[in-house]
Amino acid sequence: MRRAIPAPKVKLLFKDIEHLLRLAAVMLIAVVAFVVLRAAVVPKSFGQYGHYRGDAIAEVAARPVAHAGHEVCEGCHTDVVDQKKLGRHAGLHCEVCHGPQARHADDPASIKPPLPDTGVICARCHEANSAKPRSFPQVASADHSGGLACNTCHQPHRPKIQDQAKPATGAKR
Amino acid sequence: MQIPVQGFMYPNEVELQWSVLIVLYPFITGLVAGAFILASLERVFRVEAVKPTYRLALLTALSFLLVAPLPLQLHLGHPERSLEMYLTPHRSSAMAMFGFVYLWYLMAVLLLEIWLDYRCDIVVKSKTEKGLPRLIYKILTLGSDVLTERSLRIDERLGYFITLIGIPSAFLLHGYVGFIFGSVKANRWWSSPLMPIVFIFSAMVSGIAAVMLLYMLSSRLRRQQIDIRCLDKIAQDLMYTFIIDFSLEMLDLLQRIYEADESFRSLDFMVHTRLWTSQVIVQILLGTLTPIALLGLTQLFSFTDSVRKRIYALAGCLTVIGIFAMRWNVVIGGQLFSKSFLGYTSYKMGFATREGLLTAIILMILPFIILWILVKILPPWTDAESISASEEIPVHAAS
């Protein structure tokens, strides 16, 4: 037969650990608050595919296309293609310097892209930096051009000055 | 701003991504773990001599722990998103583990232990204080003013159990910080299985030194006599821990020198040039060998109490500076050389910027302000303790 614990003893034990029960309640509230906060703050699709927001993929895919792609540019600007393929910039696609041009490609008549500022755009690649391989053409632009825009002397589509004297249709040596 | 580069750097290495704030993060968590381990010494291993610093060490750990994530959040930017590092902890990366490690240590260890230890004082103060302090203490009692002998015994047992869990947790906290660096296998300056262990021991060194200095400073501010027996014991522990820490670092160094892998010449050059002052002069000579020698002197020769106090204060300050230099050399040093081992960059620290010197200084002052507030609310000492401290007979001369 089971002996029942006298009621006062249980009451006494409860009194002695009352503060701990209250502490446990506070901790439980903290855990619940954490879970609720997490549910409220963390996006629903978080973790759908990995440790990131799943919806981000669809959102990025839904953004309008900004770049036209060099094939589209080359469809119209054949003269530039002829110039470019003879120089060192042959492998450089149009939008690297001219920026995203999908809107211009869609409506060439009304959307005219501004010409890039060669003083800024050329320096992005050609400003001297010891991190670049020695064989890569690079200059300290302040000393090299004295503030002049690069296209004063260089034709960006065929940048080597000696090459510019040759006809665009001539074979590259 | 042109960053001076020597030799060949890959373009993404020229500018350092981890700034002085990332130096502060391991430094501050180290102080937390070290201060807690010192407090645990008294509780678990019954080292009675360090009892006067027990509560101060716990409050120091808490005030630094509250500030520990701030450098990370400032570094991350995006205050609207940086909070998510607590809410989306994940096992997939060491950095995403932060939420687990931090919240466990703060909520399950430190706050609980402090509350249980101070509960008796809180209940008494909730009845004796007036006005706003009374309300604060009332809230802290959680509505229970039970102070029976049995309830206090239960608190003591539970506190002991939490300290037992707390020691591996403190090791986990700082071992984790070391692991973040040690596990970056692409970086030869960091990648080492010894890194977490070196971090733990250096954390203990800096935490013990910081609590020792804070104990001396607080006693002076309170115009109370320092318990020299306690100070002797802390200094002794500091010296032993420091010797282990230094031995581990030297072991790592010897291993690297003997292995002499493809990174060695590059790293060796870096230590002899860009890190010469911060590593060899500040960290090793001033911040490690000098304090060990000073502490060793106090073990070998008998000095008067006042001379010992001065030696301990000097050794403590040099130790904290040395450990800060160690964090600097790990974090900044690991980004100064190229992964190609052919070039070196420089670190330019801003001043009044989000990750500048001023921010770092404010972040280092903040824990002391929090500690001051905590000490006001939860005084770590009683008047009786101070009196008994002044009556202690210095036993050092006999040892």
* Total number of domains constituting chain B: 1
Please check the confidence at residue A3 and state whether its pLDDT lies above 60.
no
Q: What is the mean pLDDT of residues B214-236?
A: 93
A134 vs A96, residue with greater confidence:
A96
Structural domain range at position B129: 20-249+350-382
Residues A78 and A48 in one domain: no
Residue B236 in domain: yes
pLDDT of residue B271: 92
What residue in B sits closest to A25 (Cα-Cα)?
Answer: B142
**How many structural domains comprise chain A?**
2
Question: Is residue B396 very low, low, confident or very high in pLDDT (cuts 50, 70, 90)?
Answer: very low
Q: Which amino acid is at A93?
A: H
- In this structure, the answer to whether residues A141 and A83 fall within a common structural domain is yes
Q: Are residue A89 and residue A132 in the same domain, yes or no?
A: yes
Each residue of B164-188: pLDDT tens digit? 888 888 888 888 889 999 999 889 9
CA distance B283 to B245: 13
Contacts of B141 in chain A (CB under 8 A): 19
Residue B218 has pLDDT above 90, yes or no: yes
Element spanning B7, H or E: strand B6-7
Residue B3 is predicted with a pLDDT of: 73
Q: How many CB atoms lie within 10 A of CB B335?
A: 19
- Which pLDDT value is given to residue B391? 43
Mean pLDDT of chain A: 85
The set of residues, in sequence order, having a beta carbon less than 8 Å from that of A122 and lying 6+ positions away, is A141, A150, A154, A156
Interface membership of B142 toward A (CB under 8 Å): yes
In a domain, B207, yes or no: yes
Q: What is the pLDDT of residue B215?
A: 95
CA angle B21, A132, B18 (to 5 degrees): 5
In chain B, the percentage of residues whose pLDDT exceeds 90 is 65
What's the pLDDT at A168? 52
> Are A74 and A156 found together in one domain?
yes
Q: Is A18 on the interface with B (CB under 8 A)?
A: yes
Residue B94 to residue B307: CA distance in whole angstroms: 46
**Is residue A78 domain-shared with residue A117, that is, in the same domain?**
yes
**Model confidence, pTM:** 0.79
pLDDT band at B398 (very low <50, low <70, confident <90, very high): very low
Tell me: do A148 and A119 sit in the same domain: yes
Rounded CA-CA distance B56/B389 in Å is: 15
pLDDT one-digit tens code per residue, B297-343? 999 999 999 999 999 999 999 999 999 999 999 999 999 999 999 88
Query: What chain A residue is nearest to B148 in terms of C-alpha separation?
Result: A16
Task: Give kind and range of the element (H or E) at residue B344.
Answer: strand B343-344
**For residues A15-34, average pLDDT:** 91
Using a CB–CB cutoff of 8 Å, tell me whether A31 touches chain B. no
Q: Is residue A133 located within the same domain as residue A79? A: yes
User: What is the distance between the alpha carbons of residues A114 and A70, in angstroms, rounded to a whole number?
Assistant: 17
**Does residue A169 sit within a domain?**
no
At residue A1, the pLDDT reads 46
> Residue A134 CA to chain centroid, in angstroms?
28
Residue B69 counted as domain residue:
yes
Of A19, A30, A46, the CB nearest to B107: A30
Q: Is A142 a domain residue?
A: yes
Residue burial B132-144, b: 16+ Cβ < 10 Å; e: rest: eeeeebbebbbeb
Predicted local confidence at residue B12, as pLDDT = 87
pLDDT greater than 50 at residue A20: yes
Instruction: Give the helix ranges, DSSP H, for chain B.
Output: 20-44, 54-67, 69-76, 79-82, 84-87, 98-103, 111-128, 131-140, 149-182, 195-221, 228-259, 264-272, 290-300, 305-331, 333-336, 357-377, 383-391
- Taking the C-alpha atoms of residue B303 and residue B309, their distance in angstroms, rounded to an integer, is 10
Please check whether residue A130 touches B, CB under 8 A. yes
Is residue B299 situated within a structural domain? no
Nearest CA in chain A to B96: A51
Question: Of A46, A62, A78, at which residue does a domain stop?
Answer: A62
Residue A80 shares a structural domain with residue A154: yes
Q: How far is CA A108 from CA A72, A102, A111, B80, in A?
A: 11, 10, 6, 41
Identify the pLDDT of residue B169: 86
Q: Which pLDDT score is estimated for B81?
A: 72
Could you tell me if A76 and A152 lie in one domain? yes
A111 assigned to some structural domain:
yes
In a domain, B213, yes or no: yes
Convert the pLDDT of each residue in B52-61 to its tens digit: 999 999 999 9
User: Minimum mean pLDDT among B80-84, B289-293, B361-365: which range?
Assistant: B80-84
Please give the Cα distance from B228 to B212 (Å, whole number): 11
Residue at A172 is within a domain: no
Claim to verify: residue A99 and residue A132 sit in the same structural domain: yes
Is some CB atom of chain A closer than 8 A to the CB atom of B83? yes
Percent of chain A with pLDDT over 70: 86
Quick one: A149 and A83 in the same domain? yes
User: Where in the sequence is the domain holding A18, given as residue range(s)?
Assistant: 7-62
Contact state of B83 with A30 under an 8 Å Cβ cutoff = no
CATH number of the domain residue B80 falls in: 1.20.1630
User: Least CA distance to A133: which residue of chain B?
Assistant: B8
Within a domain: residue B72? yes
- Percent of chain B exceeding pLDDT 70 equals 95
Q: What is the overall mean pLDDT for chain B?
A: 89
∠ CA A12-A13-A19, nearest 5°, is 105
Asked whether residue A125 is domain-assigned, the answer is: yes
Q: What is the pLDDT of residue B87?
A: 79
Shared domain check, A146 and A79: yes
Taking CA atoms, B25 is separated from B66, B68, B91, B323, in Å, by 12, 6, 21, 12
pLDDT at B28 over 70: yes
Q: Which residues of B touch A18 (CB under 8 A)?
A: 144, 146, 151
